[in-house]
Structure 1
Amino acid sequence: MTGPIVVINPNSNQAVTDGLEQALAAFRCGVGIDCVTLSEGPFGIESQYHVEQVALPLAALVKSRADASAFVIACYSDPGLDLCRATATVPVFGIQESGVLTALARGDRFGVLAIAEASIPRHLRYLRRMGVIDRLAGERALNMSVDESARGEGTFDRLVEVGHALISDGADVLILGCAGMARHRAALEAKLHRPVIDPAQAAVAMALGAVLNG
Protein backbone atom coordinates (compact mmCIF):
# COMPACT_ATOMS: atom_id res chain seq x y z
CA MET A 1 0.00 0.00 0.00
CA THR A 2 1.34 3.44 -0.99
CA GLY A 3 1.98 5.77 1.92
CA PRO A 4 0.66 9.34 2.05
CA ILE A 5 2.19 12.49 0.65
CA VAL A 6 2.97 14.46 3.81
CA VAL A 7 2.46 18.20 3.32
CA ILE A 8 4.21 20.10 6.11
CA ASN A 9 3.22 23.63 7.11
CA PRO A 10 6.48 24.82 8.73
CA ASN A 11 4.76 27.52 10.78
CA SER A 12 2.57 26.84 13.79
CA ASN A 13 -0.50 28.64 12.44
CA GLN A 14 -3.25 26.03 12.09
CA ALA A 15 -5.28 28.36 9.83
CA VAL A 16 -2.59 27.96 7.15
CA THR A 17 -2.77 24.17 7.45
CA ASP A 18 -6.57 24.31 7.24
CA GLY A 19 -6.24 26.36 4.05
CA LEU A 20 -3.90 23.75 2.61
CA GLU A 21 -6.41 21.01 3.42
CA GLN A 22 -9.06 22.92 1.49
CA ALA A 23 -6.80 23.76 -1.47
CA LEU A 24 -5.63 20.15 -1.83
CA ALA A 25 -9.01 18.45 -1.50
CA ALA A 26 -9.28 17.80 -5.25
CA PHE A 27 -5.86 16.10 -5.28
CA ARG A 28 -6.97 13.19 -3.10
CA CYS A 29 -7.28 10.63 -5.87
CA GLY A 30 -5.97 7.30 -4.66
CA VAL A 31 -2.90 8.57 -2.79
CA GLY A 32 -3.40 9.95 0.71
CA ILE A 33 -2.45 13.56 1.46
CA ASP A 34 -1.62 14.27 5.09
CA CYS A 35 -1.39 17.99 5.95
CA VAL A 36 0.50 18.55 9.20
CA THR A 37 1.59 21.59 11.22
CA LEU A 38 5.13 21.96 12.54
CA SER A 39 4.29 22.81 16.15
CA GLU A 40 7.87 24.01 16.83
CA GLY A 41 7.69 26.60 14.05
CA PRO A 42 7.06 30.34 14.42
CA PHE A 43 3.51 31.62 13.89
CA GLY A 44 4.58 32.83 10.45
CA ILE A 45 7.82 32.38 8.50
CA GLU A 46 8.58 36.00 7.68
CA SER A 47 12.37 36.36 7.95
CA GLN A 48 15.62 34.58 7.15
CA TYR A 49 15.91 33.77 10.86
CA HIS A 50 12.57 31.94 10.71
CA VAL A 51 13.70 30.06 7.59
CA GLU A 52 16.84 28.79 9.33
CA GLN A 53 15.01 28.16 12.61
CA VAL A 54 12.71 25.50 11.19
CA ALA A 55 15.26 23.50 9.17
CA LEU A 56 16.23 21.02 11.89
CA PRO A 57 12.67 20.46 13.20
CA LEU A 58 11.53 19.87 9.62
CA ALA A 59 14.24 17.28 9.07
CA ALA A 60 13.30 15.58 12.34
CA LEU A 61 9.66 15.41 11.28
CA VAL A 62 10.66 14.00 7.89
CA LYS A 63 12.82 11.38 9.59
CA SER A 64 9.92 10.39 11.86
CA ARG A 65 7.50 9.74 8.98
CA ALA A 66 8.83 6.51 7.53
CA ASP A 67 5.34 5.83 6.16
CA ALA A 68 5.44 8.78 3.72
CA SER A 69 5.75 8.26 -0.03
CA ALA A 70 6.80 11.91 -0.58
CA PHE A 71 7.02 15.20 1.31
CA VAL A 72 6.02 18.75 0.44
CA ILE A 73 7.50 21.68 2.40
CA ALA A 74 4.60 24.12 2.25
CA CYS A 75 6.33 27.47 2.72
CA TYR A 76 7.31 29.70 -0.18
CA SER A 77 10.84 30.14 1.16
CA ASP A 78 11.42 26.35 0.84
CA PRO A 79 13.00 26.20 4.32
CA GLY A 80 15.18 23.20 5.06
CA LEU A 81 14.62 21.76 1.58
CA ASP A 82 18.19 20.57 0.99
CA LEU A 83 18.45 19.14 4.50
CA CYS A 84 15.11 17.32 4.19
CA ARG A 85 16.16 15.88 0.83
CA ALA A 86 19.38 14.64 2.41
CA THR A 87 17.37 13.11 5.27
CA ALA A 88 14.48 11.50 3.39
CA THR A 89 14.55 8.30 1.35
CA VAL A 90 11.59 9.53 -0.75
CA PRO A 91 11.13 12.66 -2.92
CA VAL A 92 10.85 16.04 -1.17
CA PHE A 93 9.33 19.03 -2.98
CA GLY A 94 9.52 22.72 -2.08
CA ILE A 95 6.59 24.88 -3.08
CA GLN A 96 8.61 27.83 -4.40
CA GLU A 97 10.67 25.65 -6.70
CA SER A 98 7.59 23.70 -7.81
CA GLY A 99 5.47 26.83 -8.27
CA VAL A 100 8.08 28.55 -10.41
CA LEU A 101 8.63 25.47 -12.59
CA THR A 102 4.88 25.15 -13.09
CA ALA A 103 4.55 28.84 -13.97
CA LEU A 104 7.27 28.48 -16.61
CA ALA A 105 5.13 25.80 -18.25
CA ARG A 106 2.08 28.10 -18.32
CA GLY A 107 3.48 31.41 -19.53
CA ASP A 108 6.48 33.34 -20.79
CA ARG A 109 7.02 35.66 -17.80
CA PHE A 110 5.78 35.17 -14.26
CA GLY A 111 4.98 37.53 -11.44
CA VAL A 112 5.01 36.74 -7.72
CA LEU A 113 2.62 38.07 -5.09
CA ALA A 114 4.80 38.22 -1.98
CA ILE A 115 3.70 38.64 1.63
CA ALA A 116 6.06 41.50 2.49
CA GLU A 117 8.84 43.60 0.98
CA ALA A 118 11.37 41.90 3.27
CA SER A 119 10.61 38.54 1.62
CA ILE A 120 11.48 39.70 -1.89
CA PRO A 121 15.33 39.74 -1.65
CA ARG A 122 15.24 36.20 -0.23
CA HIS A 123 13.01 35.02 -3.09
CA LEU A 124 15.19 36.73 -5.71
CA ARG A 125 18.30 34.95 -4.40
CA TYR A 126 16.50 31.65 -4.89
CA LEU A 127 15.40 32.54 -8.43
CA ARG A 128 18.98 33.44 -9.33
CA ARG A 129 20.17 30.08 -8.02
CA MET A 130 17.46 28.38 -10.10
CA GLY A 131 18.67 30.27 -13.18
CA VAL A 132 15.22 31.66 -14.03
CA ILE A 133 15.55 35.31 -13.02
CA ASP A 134 15.27 36.43 -16.68
CA ARG A 135 11.73 35.04 -16.81
CA LEU A 136 10.58 37.11 -13.81
CA ALA A 137 8.35 40.05 -14.77
CA GLY A 138 8.28 41.28 -11.18
CA GLU A 139 7.55 40.53 -7.54
CA ARG A 140 5.31 42.80 -5.50
CA ALA A 141 4.32 42.65 -1.84
CA LEU A 142 0.91 42.61 -0.22
CA ASN A 143 2.57 43.98 2.93
CA MET A 144 0.63 41.87 5.39
CA SER A 145 1.43 39.00 7.73
CA VAL A 146 1.12 35.29 6.96
CA ASP A 147 -1.87 35.15 9.30
CA GLU A 148 -3.59 38.07 7.54
CA SER A 149 -3.05 36.42 4.17
CA ALA A 150 -4.65 33.22 5.48
CA ARG A 151 -7.79 34.73 7.01
CA GLY A 152 -7.79 38.51 6.68
CA GLU A 153 -10.97 39.99 5.23
CA GLY A 154 -9.13 42.40 2.92
CA THR A 155 -6.70 39.86 1.49
CA PHE A 156 -8.54 39.15 -1.75
CA ASP A 157 -8.96 42.80 -2.70
CA ARG A 158 -5.26 43.37 -2.07
CA LEU A 159 -4.37 40.31 -4.17
CA VAL A 160 -6.42 41.73 -7.05
CA GLU A 161 -4.69 45.11 -6.74
CA VAL A 162 -1.18 43.64 -6.69
CA GLY A 163 -2.07 41.13 -9.39
CA HIS A 164 -3.12 43.92 -11.77
CA ALA A 165 0.19 45.69 -11.06
CA LEU A 166 2.16 42.55 -11.92
CA ILE A 167 0.22 42.14 -15.16
CA SER A 168 1.18 45.73 -15.97
CA ASP A 169 4.80 44.70 -15.30
CA GLY A 170 4.46 42.10 -18.05
CA ALA A 171 3.44 38.96 -16.14
CA ASP A 172 1.21 36.54 -18.03
CA VAL A 173 1.12 34.02 -15.17
CA LEU A 174 1.05 34.74 -11.43
CA ILE A 175 2.36 32.79 -8.44
CA LEU A 176 0.93 33.08 -4.93
CA GLY A 177 4.01 33.71 -2.78
CA CYS A 178 2.70 32.15 0.44
CA ALA A 179 0.86 28.96 1.36
CA GLY A 180 -1.59 31.08 3.34
CA MET A 181 -3.03 32.53 0.11
CA ALA A 182 -4.15 29.13 -1.19
CA ARG A 183 -7.89 29.64 -0.68
CA HIS A 184 -7.93 32.63 -3.03
CA ARG A 185 -6.40 31.00 -6.12
CA ALA A 186 -9.49 30.12 -8.17
CA ALA A 187 -11.31 33.40 -7.50
CA LEU A 188 -8.18 35.43 -8.28
CA GLU A 189 -7.64 33.59 -11.57
CA ALA A 190 -11.23 34.29 -12.57
CA LYS A 191 -10.89 37.95 -11.65
CA LEU A 192 -7.56 38.60 -13.40
CA HIS A 193 -8.06 36.35 -16.45
CA ARG A 194 -4.53 35.00 -16.07
CA PRO A 195 -3.26 31.62 -14.81
CA VAL A 196 -2.68 31.80 -11.05
CA ILE A 197 -0.40 29.14 -9.58
CA ASP A 198 -0.89 27.97 -6.01
CA PRO A 199 2.61 26.60 -5.35
CA ALA A 200 1.37 24.06 -2.78
CA GLN A 201 -0.94 22.57 -5.41
CA ALA A 202 1.95 22.62 -7.90
CA ALA A 203 4.22 20.75 -5.49
CA VAL A 204 1.57 18.15 -4.63
CA ALA A 205 0.89 17.61 -8.34
CA MET A 206 4.61 16.88 -8.82
CA ALA A 207 4.65 14.62 -5.78
CA LEU A 208 1.65 12.69 -7.10
CA GLY A 209 3.42 12.23 -10.41
CA ALA A 210 6.50 10.89 -8.67
CA VAL A 211 4.50 8.52 -6.45
CA LEU A 212 2.22 7.22 -9.21
CA ASN A 213 5.26 6.66 -11.41
CA GLY A 214 6.65 4.33 -8.77
Structure 2
Amino acid sequence: MTIYVVNPNSSQHVTDGINRAVDPMRAASLVPIEARTLAEGPPGIETQANVDGVVVPLLAHCAALEESASAFVIACYSDPGLAALREQSTRPVLGIAEASILTAMTLGQRFGIISILSKSIPRHMRYVGAMGVLDRLAADQPLELGVLELADEARTFDRLKTVGTNLRDGAMADVVILGCAGMTAFRSDLENHLGIPVVEPCQAATAMAIGRVALQTTRKDKK
Protein backbone atom coordinates (compact mmCIF):
# COMPACT_ATOMS: atom_id res chain seq x y z
CA MET A 1 0.00 0.00 0.00
CA THR A 2 1.25 3.47 -0.91
CA ILE A 3 0.45 7.16 -0.47
CA TYR A 4 0.37 8.49 -4.04
CA VAL A 5 1.24 12.17 -4.46
CA VAL A 6 0.04 12.94 -7.98
CA ASN A 7 1.31 15.97 -9.88
CA PRO A 8 -1.47 16.77 -12.39
CA ASN A 9 0.88 18.60 -14.75
CA SER A 10 3.34 16.86 -17.04
CA SER A 11 6.50 18.66 -15.86
CA GLN A 12 8.82 16.07 -14.36
CA HIS A 13 10.97 18.71 -12.67
CA VAL A 14 7.90 19.73 -10.63
CA THR A 15 7.36 16.10 -9.60
CA ASP A 16 11.05 15.79 -8.71
CA GLY A 17 10.71 18.84 -6.47
CA ILE A 18 7.63 17.36 -4.82
CA ASN A 19 9.51 14.12 -4.24
CA ARG A 20 12.37 15.97 -2.55
CA ALA A 21 9.97 18.01 -0.43
CA VAL A 22 8.19 14.97 0.99
CA ASP A 23 11.31 12.80 1.32
CA PRO A 24 12.00 13.73 4.98
CA MET A 25 8.44 12.63 5.80
CA ARG A 26 8.93 9.08 4.60
CA ALA A 27 10.48 8.01 7.88
CA ALA A 28 7.26 8.98 9.68
CA SER A 29 4.95 7.13 7.29
CA LEU A 30 3.60 3.64 7.85
CA VAL A 31 3.55 3.09 4.08
CA PRO A 32 5.71 4.18 1.12
CA ILE A 33 5.15 7.61 -0.44
CA GLU A 34 5.39 7.84 -4.22
CA ALA A 35 5.34 11.05 -6.27
CA ARG A 36 3.82 10.59 -9.73
CA THR A 37 3.44 12.70 -12.87
CA LEU A 38 0.23 12.87 -14.90
CA ALA A 39 1.66 12.51 -18.40
CA GLU A 40 -1.62 13.69 -19.97
CA GLY A 41 -1.54 17.00 -18.09
CA PRO A 42 -0.31 20.35 -19.46
CA PRO A 43 3.24 21.51 -18.63
CA GLY A 44 1.73 23.82 -16.03
CA ILE A 45 -1.74 24.33 -14.60
CA GLU A 46 -2.25 28.07 -14.88
CA THR A 47 -5.87 28.58 -15.98
CA GLN A 48 -9.33 27.33 -15.10
CA ALA A 49 -9.35 25.48 -18.41
CA ASN A 50 -6.15 23.70 -17.36
CA VAL A 51 -7.75 22.80 -14.03
CA ASP A 52 -10.91 21.44 -15.63
CA GLY A 53 -9.02 19.62 -18.37
CA VAL A 54 -6.94 17.41 -16.07
CA VAL A 55 -9.84 16.06 -14.01
CA VAL A 56 -10.79 13.15 -16.30
CA PRO A 57 -7.21 11.87 -16.85
CA LEU A 58 -6.45 12.38 -13.15
CA LEU A 59 -9.44 10.26 -12.14
CA ALA A 60 -8.41 7.53 -14.58
CA HIS A 61 -4.81 7.63 -13.32
CA CYS A 62 -5.94 7.24 -9.71
CA ALA A 63 -8.51 4.56 -10.54
CA ALA A 64 -5.69 2.39 -11.85
CA LEU A 65 -3.88 2.82 -8.53
CA GLU A 66 -6.89 2.33 -6.23
CA GLU A 67 -6.12 -1.20 -5.09
CA SER A 68 -2.54 -0.34 -4.09
CA ALA A 69 -3.32 3.07 -2.60
CA SER A 70 -3.40 3.99 1.06
CA ALA A 71 -4.23 7.62 0.21
CA PHE A 72 -4.05 10.11 -2.64
CA VAL A 73 -2.63 13.64 -2.60
CA ILE A 74 -3.54 15.95 -5.50
CA ALA A 75 -0.40 18.04 -5.87
CA CYS A 76 -1.72 21.14 -7.61
CA TYR A 77 -2.72 24.29 -5.78
CA SER A 78 -6.08 24.44 -7.55
CA ASP A 79 -7.01 21.00 -6.14
CA PRO A 80 -8.38 19.80 -9.51
CA GLY A 81 -10.84 16.94 -9.21
CA LEU A 82 -10.72 16.88 -5.41
CA ALA A 83 -14.44 16.33 -4.85
CA ALA A 84 -14.68 13.93 -7.80
CA LEU A 85 -11.76 11.81 -6.61
CA ARG A 86 -13.20 11.69 -3.10
CA GLU A 87 -16.41 10.43 -4.65
CA GLN A 88 -14.59 7.86 -6.79
CA SER A 89 -12.10 6.51 -4.26
CA THR A 90 -12.55 4.67 -0.97
CA ARG A 91 -9.16 5.98 0.17
CA PRO A 92 -8.38 9.30 1.90
CA VAL A 93 -7.94 12.07 -0.69
CA LEU A 94 -6.12 15.29 0.19
CA GLY A 95 -5.74 18.43 -1.91
CA ILE A 96 -2.67 20.56 -1.32
CA ALA A 97 -4.54 23.88 -1.36
CA GLU A 98 -7.12 22.79 1.21
CA ALA A 99 -4.47 21.13 3.37
CA SER A 100 -2.15 24.14 3.26
CA ILE A 101 -4.90 26.55 4.28
CA LEU A 102 -6.00 24.33 7.15
CA THR A 103 -2.37 24.00 8.26
CA ALA A 104 -1.72 27.73 7.99
CA MET A 105 -4.66 28.48 10.26
CA THR A 106 -3.01 26.42 13.01
CA LEU A 107 0.19 28.47 12.68
CA GLY A 108 -1.17 32.01 12.61
CA GLN A 109 -4.27 34.14 12.54
CA ARG A 110 -3.90 35.64 9.06
CA PHE A 111 -2.37 33.75 6.15
CA GLY A 112 -1.02 35.13 2.90
CA ILE A 113 -0.82 33.19 -0.37
CA ILE A 114 1.96 33.59 -2.92
CA SER A 115 0.47 32.82 -6.35
CA ILE A 116 2.34 32.25 -9.56
CA LEU A 117 0.26 34.64 -11.68
CA SER A 118 -2.35 37.37 -11.21
CA LYS A 119 -4.86 35.27 -13.13
CA SER A 120 -4.53 32.54 -10.48
CA ILE A 121 -5.84 34.81 -7.74
CA PRO A 122 -9.57 34.84 -8.63
CA ARG A 123 -9.50 31.04 -8.69
CA HIS A 124 -7.87 30.95 -5.27
CA MET A 125 -10.31 33.51 -3.90
CA ARG A 126 -13.26 31.39 -5.00
CA TYR A 127 -11.74 28.43 -3.22
CA VAL A 128 -10.96 30.28 0.01
CA GLY A 129 -14.50 31.67 -0.06
CA ALA A 130 -15.95 28.20 -0.57
CA MET A 131 -13.99 27.03 2.47
CA GLY A 132 -15.56 29.86 4.48
CA VAL A 133 -12.26 31.32 5.67
CA LEU A 134 -11.94 34.59 3.73
CA ASP A 135 -11.75 36.45 7.03
CA ARG A 136 -8.46 34.67 7.77
CA LEU A 137 -6.87 35.59 4.41
CA ALA A 138 -4.52 38.57 4.63
CA ALA A 139 -3.87 38.76 0.86
CA ASP A 140 -3.02 36.73 -2.22
CA GLN A 141 -0.18 38.22 -4.27
CA PRO A 142 1.53 36.92 -7.44
CA LEU A 143 5.12 36.29 -8.47
CA GLU A 144 4.09 36.81 -12.12
CA LEU A 145 6.12 33.74 -13.04
CA GLY A 146 4.62 30.75 -14.83
CA VAL A 147 5.16 27.17 -13.68
CA LEU A 148 8.00 26.54 -16.13
CA GLU A 149 9.69 29.82 -15.13
CA LEU A 150 9.92 28.62 -11.53
CA ALA A 151 12.82 26.39 -12.63
CA ASP A 152 14.99 29.55 -12.59
CA GLU A 153 15.77 29.30 -8.88
CA ALA A 154 17.61 32.60 -8.44
CA ARG A 155 14.90 34.63 -10.14
CA THR A 156 12.13 32.76 -8.34
CA PHE A 157 13.64 33.17 -4.89
CA ASP A 158 14.23 36.88 -5.48
CA ARG A 159 10.53 37.29 -6.32
CA LEU A 160 9.49 35.10 -3.37
CA LYS A 161 11.43 37.32 -0.99
CA THR A 162 9.81 40.46 -2.39
CA VAL A 163 6.24 39.13 -2.39
CA GLY A 164 6.66 37.36 0.95
CA THR A 165 7.91 40.59 2.55
CA ASN A 166 4.95 42.49 1.10
CA LEU A 167 2.54 39.94 2.57
CA ARG A 168 4.23 40.08 5.96
CA ASP A 169 4.75 43.83 6.27
CA GLY A 170 2.01 45.25 4.04
CA ALA A 171 -0.84 42.77 4.40
CA MET A 172 0.16 41.79 7.95
CA ALA A 173 0.19 38.06 7.25
CA ASP A 174 1.72 36.05 10.07
CA VAL A 175 2.03 32.88 7.97
CA VAL A 176 2.65 32.50 4.24
CA ILE A 177 1.58 29.70 1.88
CA LEU A 178 3.52 28.82 -1.27
CA GLY A 179 0.68 28.71 -3.78
CA CYS A 180 2.14 26.28 -6.33
CA ALA A 181 3.70 22.83 -6.18
CA GLY A 182 6.56 24.22 -8.27
CA MET A 183 7.79 26.27 -5.29
CA THR A 184 8.68 23.29 -3.09
CA ALA A 185 12.42 23.96 -3.03
CA PHE A 186 12.11 27.36 -1.38
CA ARG A 187 10.17 26.80 1.85
CA SER A 188 13.06 26.64 4.33
CA ASP A 189 15.04 29.50 2.81
CA LEU A 190 11.99 31.74 2.57
CA GLU A 191 10.96 30.94 6.15
CA ASN A 192 14.46 31.85 7.34
CA HIS A 193 14.36 35.08 5.34
CA LEU A 194 10.89 36.18 6.51
CA GLY A 195 11.07 34.96 10.11
CA ILE A 196 7.47 33.69 10.01
CA PRO A 197 6.05 30.22 9.20
CA VAL A 198 5.97 29.28 5.52
CA VAL A 199 3.70 26.39 4.52
CA GLU A 200 4.69 24.16 1.60
CA PRO A 201 1.38 22.64 0.45
CA CYS A 202 2.68 19.24 -0.71
CA GLN A 203 4.25 18.70 2.70
CA ALA A 204 1.09 19.85 4.46
CA ALA A 205 -1.14 17.49 2.47
CA THR A 206 1.27 14.56 2.75
CA ALA A 207 1.46 15.04 6.51
CA MET A 208 -2.34 14.85 6.64
CA ALA A 209 -2.31 11.74 4.45
CA ILE A 210 0.18 10.07 6.80
CA GLY A 211 -2.07 10.95 9.71
CA ARG A 212 -5.16 9.60 7.98
CA VAL A 213 -3.42 6.30 7.22
CA ALA A 214 -2.32 6.04 10.85
CA LEU A 215 -5.83 6.84 12.05
CA GLN A 216 -7.34 4.16 9.85
CA THR A 217 -4.85 1.62 11.19
CA THR A 218 -5.80 2.53 14.75
CA ARG A 219 -9.48 2.10 13.97
CA LYS A 220 -8.86 -1.30 12.43
CA ASP A 221 -6.87 -2.37 15.48
CA LYS A 222 -9.83 -1.50 17.72
CA LYS A 223 -12.21 -3.83 15.90
TM-score using structure 2 length: 0.94
Which residue is 1:205 aligned to? 207
Deviation of 1:213 after TM superposition, in Å, equals 1.3
Deviation of 1:153 after TM superposition, in Å, equals 2.9
Q: Secondary structure at the match of 1:11?
A: coil
1:83-162 to 2 correspondences below 5 Å: 83-162=84-163
- The farther-off stretch of 143-152 and 91-100 is 143-152
Unpaired segments ≥5 residues, structure 2: 217-223
The sequence identity of aligned pairs, in percent, is 51
Deviation of 1:34 after TM superposition, in Å, equals 0.6
The two structures, once aligned, show a CA RMSD in angstroms of 0.8
Aligned length: 212
Structure with more helix by fraction: 2
Deviation of 1:147 after TM superposition, in Å, equals 1.4
Superposed structure 1 runs of 4+ greater than 2 Å apart: 150-153
Unpaired segments ≥5 residues, structure 1: none
Which residue is 2:188 aligned to? 186
Q: Deviations over 1:83-142 (max 9, x none)?
A: 111111101000000000000000000000000000000000000000000000001000
Give the counterpart of 1:21 among 16, 19, 22.
19
**Equivalent-residue separation in structure 2 for 1:181 and 1:150 (angstroms):** 9
**Equivalent-residue separation in structure 1 for 2:7 and 2:69 (angstroms):** 15
1:62-77 to 2 correspondences below 5 Å: 62-65=62-65, 66-77=67-78
AA aligned to 1:18 is D
**Equivalent-residue separation in structure 2 for 1:37 and 1:197 (angstroms):** 22
Structure 1 residues 150 and 33, CA, compared in 2 at 3 Å: closer, same or farther?
farther
Deviation of 1:150 after TM superposition, in Å, equals 3.8
**Equivalent-residue separation in structure 1 for 2:92 and 2:76 (angstroms):** 17
